[in-house]
Amino acid sequence: MKKKTILLFGKGMLMGAADLIPGISGGTIALITGIYKNLLDSIDSLNYKNLSLIKNGDLKMFWKKINGNFLITVFSGIILSILIFSYLIDWLIENRPIQLWSFFFGVLITSIFFLKKLVNNWNLFSLVFLVFGILISYQLTTFPLKDNDTTLLYLFFCGIAGSIAMILPGISGAYIFLILGVYHTLLSSIKMATKVWSSFKWDIFYETFLILSVTAIGFLIGLRFFASILKKLIEKNNDKTMSILIGLMIGSIQKIWPWQEVVNVNLNNENLLYSKAILPYNYNGNPEILTSLIVMITAILLTIFLGSKNLTHNK
C-alpha cells in the first residue's frame, strides 16, 4: 500500500474519531490535515452527469471523475475509526473527560490560528462574517441537551442535520445529535453493531441495522447536497465563507473547555441538561490541571505539525 494512501486513511480515521466527540468537528480535522477542499470537490462530483457514466457502463471513467480512490480511502478510515473508537470515546467521556476535552481544546485553538491564513484579505466584511459565525456556533453549543423518543423518520432528518454539522468546521455533528436527543441511541447502536459481527447476535441485528442505515441515508443525502453548496460558496466568496467557518470554530471553544458543570434546566415543564464552562478551581472534583496541561500542549504540538505540513492544500 502506498504511503500516500496510508496517510490519507489515517486522516480519515482522525476525522472519524473527532466525529464521535461532542464539541469537535470532522470538518476541522479535514481542514487542518489539508484534505478539506479535495473532500468537498470529490463529494460534489457525485452528480447526475457522472452517475450517468455507470448507466453507460464506463465505470473506470466514473471512478476517475469522482476521485473514487480518495473517497473510498477517507470514508473507510472514518467508518473503521467510528467502529473501533466508539467504546474508547465513550469510556473517556465517562472516566477521563478533562483529559479528552483538553486534547481537543488544544487542537481547536491551534487550528484557529492556522486557518486564519486561509482568509486572503481580512477587512471589515471578513470581521462581520467572523462574528456572525461565532454567534451561530455559540448559540448552537449552548442549547440544553435532551433525550427524544426516536422514530425512523426523525433519525433520517437527524442524519441530515448531523452531516451538515460534520462538514462544517466548528460545529460538531456529535453535539448536534446530543441536542436532538439521539447521540446515545446512535452510539449504543454503533457499539451494538460491533457486537453483532464479533459474537453473531443476529437477534439484535435488525433493529441496529435499521437505526444506523436510516441515519446513514439521511447523513449521505445531507452531505452530498451541502458539500456542493459549501464548495460554491468558497469558490465565489472565499474570504467571507472562511471567516464564517473560523467563527464557527471560535464559537464552539466554550463547549470543549475541559472544565464543565452540568446543571438541570426546566424548560416548558421539561427537565433538560445544560453544560457550562467553569474555571478549574470551581470544578466539582479534582481539576487535574497538570495532566490536562500536558495533554493540551501535546495536542497543540501535534496540530502545529499537521497544520504546517498540510494547510496549503486547502487553498
For the chain (length 315 residues), average pLDDT per consecutive 10? 85 88 80 87 88 83 90 93 84 87 87 82 90 87 65 88 80 76 82 69 74 92 90 87 87 85 68 77 89 94 76 54
Question: In this structure, what are the phi and psi dihedrals at residue 306, rounded to the nearest 5 degrees?
Answer: -65, -45
Dihedral sign, Cα of residue 135, residue 173, residue 161, residue 10 = positive
Q: How far apart are CA 97 and CA 238, in angstroms?
A: 36
**Amino acid at the residue 195:** K
283 in helix, strand or coil?
coil
216 in helix, strand or coil?
helix
Dihedral sign, Cα of residue 274, residue 280, residue 281, residue 283 = positive
Q: How far apart are CA 136 and CA 245, in angstroms?
A: 10
pTM of structure: 0.77
pLDDT of residue 84: 85
Q: How far apart are CA 271 and CA 84, in angstroms?
A: 33
254 in helix, strand or coil?
helix
Report CA-CA distances (Å) from 167 to 127, 163, 268, 274. 22, 6, 32, 25
Cell of 148: 427524544
pLDDT of residue 217: 94
Buried b (16+ CB within 10 A) or exposed e, 291-309: ebeebbeebbeebbebbee
* Rg of the chain (C-alpha set): 20
- Per DSSP, 34 falls in state T
Count CB-CB contacts under 10 A for residue 185.
19
pLDDT of residue 265: 64
Q: How far apart are CA 132 and CA 36, in angstroms?
A: 22
Question: In this structure, what are the phi and psi dihedrals at residue 150, rounded to the nearest 5 degrees?
Answer: -100, 130
Residue carrying C-alpha cell 459481527? 197
Q: Is residue 96 classed exposed, middle or buried when 0-12, 13-18 and 19+ CB atoms within 10 A define those classes? A: middle
pLDDT of residue 233: 87
Question: Where are the domains positioned within the chain?
Answer: 3-314
pLDDT of residue 138: 84
